[in-house]
Amino acid sequence: MAPKPYIFLIIALLFIFLPLTASIHFKLPAIFNFGDSNSDTGELVAAGVYSLEPPYGRSYFTKPSGRYCDGRLIIDFLLEAMDLPFLNAYLDSIGRTSFRKGCNFAAAGSTIEPPTARAVSPFSFRVQVAQFIRFKLQVLRLIAKGKKLHKYLPDEDYFQNGLYMFDIGQNDLAGAFYSKTFDQILALIPLILTEFETGIKTLYDQGARNFWVHNTGPLGCLAQNVAKFGTDPLSLDELGCVSKHNQAAKVFNLQLHTLCKKLQGQYAGSNFTYVDIYTIKWNLIANYSKFGFEQPIMVCCGYGGPPLNYDSRISCGKTEVLNGTTMTAKACSDSSEYVNWDGIHYSEAANQYVSSQILTGKYSDPPFSDKMPFLLGLKF
């Protein structure tokens, strides 16, 4: 058996591209994150929109943590590498929640476009940006009153010197396939990215300067989409993924990359890093056994057995009555053998692998280089 992903120890360079004439500070004071379930650390659950039960969280937190995973997400591993604490969700304010090192506005099910009546999440990208503006305003008001809350809140200059991370757009594409033709979806992509650009401009006007943008992954390889749209073998590619879903993702990513380059030149003092998540995940699925996995598409926590172990009627950890029989979607014994956790989201082991590849710097534009100012000693 190939070695598990967690034995890969990589010393990598993390890059924040700054003008050479600027006064350079390479220690990131804070992270502000926007996105969907790929980086939601508890927003949708804190909002009361959805609940997660065991076995979510079992591999690291030992209980559900608000993350749609058995453990840590990509953003968690990246923050660990930067020696920063995990981000608390914006709406998760019970107890002594600290936002000193940033805040997470990402919510599962979110889209860039305004939500439809059938949307899982009401927290579209525009809403998340509005939440950030309110967050910033409240922080500045509170710290102006005195130092009592300083240990829980970011300093004013953190809003300009911090890193703004984005991982959103997957749900816009995936959701569109339920009601639109392939050509209609391709025509929708420029409109989606116009909405994204509007949000970026708003954040720039609020002082944001450092932008870290993930493209979207091969959504045609998610069991949920294979189960729904892959019943015709001709619709699948050589890896068993739905071809048109992945084609749409590639078109989206191409236009997103172009947009990032445009914004880099358009906004003075801005620093955009575009990260090719698609290629990393595709390589993982295509070469899964090489990286210690046994199942590239089949779900760890699901129902139905091979080849997908996925049934849209029963979510991971839930119990439902199907045809008069009570059924439960249970987890596999070892989630580190699976790329996919619940049919939609990656396992902690897969997220760990993806993070290690991000931190090589080979999948970003601009790429990391030996001229970067500090080394990261990865803890995973």
Catalytic residues: 37, 342, 345
* Structural contact between residues 66 and 46, judged by C-beta atoms closer than 8 angstroms: yes
Q: Which residues contact 301 (CB under 8 A, 6 or more apart)?
A: 55, 70, 316, 317, 329, 330, 331, 332, 335, 341, 342
